[in-house]
Amino acid sequence: MQRLFATMRSSNISAESKRELVLFLREFCTVSSSLQPAQRMQLSRDLAGRGVFDIISDVLRSQEKVLVSAGTDILHYLTQDPNLLRSYIANHEESSREGISLLGLLIEGIATDFGGEMLCQFLEILKVLLDGCTADTVTQCRDFIELFYEKCFDKLINIIESSRVEEYSAKLEILYNICELLCFCARHHPYKIKITFFGSNSMEKILTLTRRRERSLVVAAVRIMRTIIGAGRNDELLISHVIEFNTLKPIIEVFVENGNRYNMLHSTVLELLDFIRKENLKSLVLYVVESFWDQLLMFEQLASIQAFKLKYQEYVDIAEETQTTSVDHTRKADERGLDKEEEDYFSKDSNEEDSAAQTRHAHQQCLVKPANGSEIHHIPARPKSGGLVDNGSDKDYKPSPKRPVKADEALNIPMESR
């Protein structure tokens, strides 16, 4: 093993010898696949420690398809421990010669027409690297994901965008694999996808594929949109972005153009609408019906479209009922407020009258004190004047008995007489 890697790194090795050694290394990895998992893992670490990733980077730069195929097979074997490759890419990203890192070579591989089997190899390697984060590997995984979205994501989107012009378009298999990778990213990294889409209008660029004649690409674009909405269904910011930029418009348009043909496009769009309805995404339901119902009217006989319209009507009825209830509560509150003011006003007048009556009654009590319910005290008689002369003619005089003074008369006694 030591001599093998020393020879492969030698600058004096011929192209033919290097080719034979690379093919030998692939055969070695293929045979090693029969080992137990722990032994395969240990072998992968030994190969990584001897510099196998440097050799694979050189192999993937080759113009010879056989060598590139051998390199992807070796790399696929080594992804049994993805952190080995993640760590290598993160550590060598800036120091890679010719400005193309191993990650960049993988992105070039998925965008190059090597043939179906090799394209699948590149796709599977990238999926493994972008997946499989655990508590023990979260740091390496997070660093690699950040690197991928920073360096490579826009390249994939640009390949799709340039395919609007057919003479510059990538082949169907390449575009389909890129869509597959984007769906994978949307499922596993919804937050990163959201941030990336907001920053570069990536969703609008992806949906340019709906104008392609190949129905498989149109379906792939719709599936990406469905995956993004599914992953971010609780994200109000994402839903608002879809509505603000009218993102579903090209999907509805191509659905209408497809007419009543029952095919994958028909089923995929209906599944998207069913998902929006079943997940109670109110904003999207209102947006679709209010923006596109005239076009969807031709499909009114379909159960999915009928159910979608019923969900919309349900939201409208709830909104109207809520508004009516709110108006009634407001009116009743105003009426209660008016009744309270009137009650306070009359209560105030009543309190003032009661206070005045109590004052008069207290004043009467000072003047008249009831006794046994009927008797009252007599007002004392005025004392005799000491200046009169007593003569005999008054001896037989008997004054008439004094009449008791009534209460109402007592009130009219002048203050001077009291």
What is the per-residue pLDDT across 289-344, written as a single tens digit (0 to 9) for each? 999 999 999 999 999 999 999 999 999 999 888 776 655 555 555 555 545 555 55
Residue 310 belongs to some domain of the structure? no
Q: CA 253, CA 256: separation in Å to the nearest integer?
A: 5
Q: What pLDDT score was predicted for residue 383?
A: 44
* Confidence grade of residue 171 (pLDDT, cut at 50, 70, 90): confident
Residue 62 belongs to some domain of the structure? yes
Q: Name the 3-class secondary structure at 62.
A: coil
DSSP string for 121-175: HHHHHHHHHHS---TTTHHHHHHHHHHHHHHTHHHHHHHHHHTTSGGGPPPHHHH
Does residue 167 surpass a pLDDT of 70?
Answer: no
Residue 37's domain spans which residues? 1-80
> Mean pLDDT highest for which of 276-280, 368-372, 401-405?
276-280
* Confidence grade of residue 55 (pLDDT, cut at 50, 70, 90): very high
> Mean pLDDT highest for which of 140-144, 152-156, 274-278, 402-406?
274-278
- The CA–CA distances, whole Å, from 328 to 332, 333, 339, 342 equal 6, 8, 16, 21
Domain tally for the chain? Answer: 1
Find tokens 């379909």 and name the residue. 302
Residue 51 belongs to some domain of the structure? yes
Does residue 180 surpass a pLDDT of 70?
Answer: yes
Does residue 234 surpass a pLDDT of 90?
Answer: no
Residue 308 belongs to some domain of the structure? no
Residue 289 belongs to some domain of the structure? no
* Confidence grade of residue 381 (pLDDT, cut at 50, 70, 90): very low
Residue 281 belongs to some domain of the structure? no
* Confidence grade of residue 367 (pLDDT, cut at 50, 70, 90): very low
pLDDT single digits (tens) 70-108: 999 999 999 988 999 999 998 887 665 556 789 999 999
Residue 246 belongs to some domain of the structure? no
Q: CA 267, CA 247: separation in Å to the nearest integer?
A: 19
Residue 344 belongs to some domain of the structure? no
* Confidence grade of residue 389 (pLDDT, cut at 50, 70, 90): very low
Cβ atoms within 10 Å of 364's Cβ, excluding its own:
13
